[in-house]
Amino acid sequence: MMRKRIWIIAFFGLITLILQGMNIYRTFIEPTMGQVFRMTLSVKDGYYVVKSLMKEETSGKQSAAEKAGLKVNDKIVGIYNSHGEGKLIQSRNDLHEMLDQKIKTGEPWTIEVLREQPGKGLQEIRLSIPPTEKSSFISHDIWLEIGFVIILPFIAILTAFIIGFTKPEDNHAFLAFFLFLGVNTIIGSTYLTFPPIIRELGAIYYAFLNTAAVYLFMLFFLLYPSSSIIDRTLPWLKKVLLVLVLLHGVYAVIEFFITNHSLQASASLHYAKPYIYSIANWSNLLMFIVGISSLFFNTIKPATQDDKRRMVILLAGTLIGLLPLLAYIVYFMTSRRSPSSEYMIGLIGICLSIFPLSFTYVVLKHRVFGIRLIVRRGLQYMLISRGFLIVEGFLIFSVLFIVIGPAFMKLLPGLTINSFGVSSAALTIGAIAGLRMVNRRVMPIIDRRFFRDAYNTQKVLTELSNTIRQLATDPDELLHLASDKISNSLYPAHIAIFLNQSPNVKHPIAEGTGGESTSLEEKYCCEMKLSPIYR
């Protein structure tokens, strides 16, 4: 079972990394004309209809669409490149073949549209689109792009990998792995601009994981750390909602493939689309409320103190991380408008990152799935390995070239992309030289912060000796204190404390991670007159 799950996790992990890598490539390195042109389309009567256009580029210049005279409500008939090669747009495949493959940034192209003319009805008009450079795609809110396309997905995917690969046999961990892959899809993707096959793979991946993200959230907290009162009272609820989620996912995949083949054939689906997505939105809201409620009930009635600490952190991280997003969704559902404030969207992004980060913190700090030594040793090896140095070097080069590069090239117009690339590579090589020493210093800090709370031996012994005087008359409390200190310092699987006393005296067993209370009658050693107290 565990080997099978590892293969499943590896399979979905590989697909996730491929799609996310393509998403970063399309957003920052090689955007297509479809992205650069920034044209929002809808499907109506077998045509793509222009819903909105970018009127100004980020530089403040008039956009290519404005210069050409393209207008909202124009129906697209055909698209042709500068060599006259093109086709009638009768499907999504036709559109993306032209805008993502045949037409390159920096070259002019032509679009034929049907436009409603006063007193003349629909008239076919041919418009010449002037060249559009990649620089027009660079958003003035570049930090939002970096946050939503790189940082947030990285946090969600990393959390999924930490939980999934280190504890694949645990049902809760296996479920949490898919939960955070689902969180990654909430942010969105440019998979429609991907090459064929990868585009279809991305459509299926995002259709099911995106529609299932809120369901996985609800299901996890219905079952973790044990079945909640909602699940015990309404055991059928998760099955009913699963059916709705699967139907929504199937509809999204069918719509994608039919629209790819024919806009005319997809017309019948689009009549049902508003109702299906309305049901899906309200179902998601219900599932979110059920998930939050289950988390709350499991927090106020935990099985142990350890569980309570974990659940409080998860509850706080979930509320802070997801409530702003919920408010955004409810606002959109009720007003059909999306908040345009960059600060509002940035706040939602920052808060959203807290949800997976709280999970990661609880996993490493409070051993939520029993993950301890394997993570510690993995981090230790990773930080001193040559492979990780390469990864760090790649990240440094990416930040220099992708993030800082556009700003430098605006400040220094004479700086070419090739010369800046060479400079970035040289700076990266210089930075790598000192990274191994930095990594060796970072590991003890991580060790102290996440894996050994009371790392200083002298500090542990001093605190124990001071407390012994106060608890000399209360041996039970003293045993609990000693076992807590040792557990929080070294994180062993079990602790045994031997007391030199009569075997007939009973002591409660201190609670441990995954351990059960056991009476002294079951564990004492009569021959030596020593009574082990297990934690």
- Taking the C-alpha atoms of residue 334 and residue 410, their distance in angstroms, rounded to an integer, is 41
Residue at 120 is within a domain: yes
Same domain, 92 and 230: no
Buried b (16+ CB within 10 A) or exposed e, 320-357: ebbebbbebbeeeeeeeeeeeeeeebeebbebbbbbbb
Do 107 and 190 reside in the same domain of the chain?
no
Q: Which helix (H) or strand (E) holds 143?
A: helix 142-146
pLDDT in tens, 15-38: 998 899 888 888 888 888 877 777
Task: Note whether 229 and 350 are same-domain residues.
Answer: yes
In this structure, is residue 103 part of a structural domain? yes
Report if residue 351 sits inside a domain: yes
Total number of domains constituting the chain? 4
**CA distances (Å), 102 to each of 49, 325, 428, in order?**
21, 38, 35
Q: From the CA atom positions of the chain, what is the Rg in Å?
A: 29
The C-alpha atoms of residue 484 and residue 305 are separated, in whole angstroms, by 12
Do 226 and 168 share a structural domain?
Answer: yes
**Residue-range definition of the domain harbouring residue 146:** 2-27+140-371
DSSP three-state, residue 55:
coil
pTM exceeding the 0.85 threshold for the entire prediction = no
Does a structural domain hold residue 340?
yes
456 located within any domain: no
Considering the domain architecture, whether residues 412 and 330 belong to the same structural domain is answered as: no
CATH number at residue 95: 2.30.42
Query: Is residue 33 assigned to a domain?
Result: no
What pLDDT, on the 0 to 100 scale, is given for residue 275? 87
Same domain flag for 95 and 176: no
Q: Is 185 exposed, middle or buried (0-12, 13-18, 19+ CB in 10 A)?
A: buried
pLDDT of residue 391: 61
Domain boundary among 96, 131, 166: 131
Assess if residue 338 is contained within a domain: yes
Phi first, then psi: what are they for 324, rounded to 5°?
-60, -40
Q: What is the largest CA-CA distance in the chain?
A: 108
Q: Does residue 228 sit in the same domain as residue 91?
A: no
Same domain, 401 and 322: no
Among the three residues 352, 371, 390, which one is the final residue of a domain in this structure? 371
Residues 91, 221, single domain; the answer is no
Percent of the chain with pLDDT over 90: 22
| pLDDT tens, the chain, 535 aa long | 778 888 899 899 889 988 998 888 888 888 888 777 778 888 888 899 998 887 776 666 778 888 889 999 999 999 999 888 899 999 999 998 898 888 887 889 999 999 988 888 888 999 998 887 666 555 556 777 888 888 889 889 988 988 888 788 888 889 999 999 999 988 778 888 888 888 999 999 999 999 999 999 999 999 988 889 999 999 999 999 999 999 999 999 999 999 999 988 887 777 788 888 889 888 998 999 999 999 999 888 766 667 777 888 889 989 998 888 888 877 776 766 665 567 778 788 888 888 988 887 777 665 556 555 455 555 554 444 455 566 667 677 767 766 666 666 666 666 666 676 677 778 877 777 776 677 666 656 655 555 554 455 666 667 667 766 666 667 777 777 777 766 666 556 567 777 665 555 444 444 444 344 343 333 333 333 333 333 3
Q: Domain check: are 45 and 159 in the same one?
A: no
**Half-sphere exposure of residue 118, counting CA atoms within 13 Å on the CB side?**
0
Q: Do residues 166 and 258 share a domain?
A: yes
Q: What is the reported pLDDT for 381?
A: 47
Single out the residue in 131, 166, 191 at which a domain terminates: 131
253-276 pLDDT, tens digit per residue, is 999 999 999 988 887 777 788 888
In a domain, residue 376? The reply is no
Clarify whether residues 151 and 255 are in a common domain.
yes
Coil, helix or strand for 454? coil
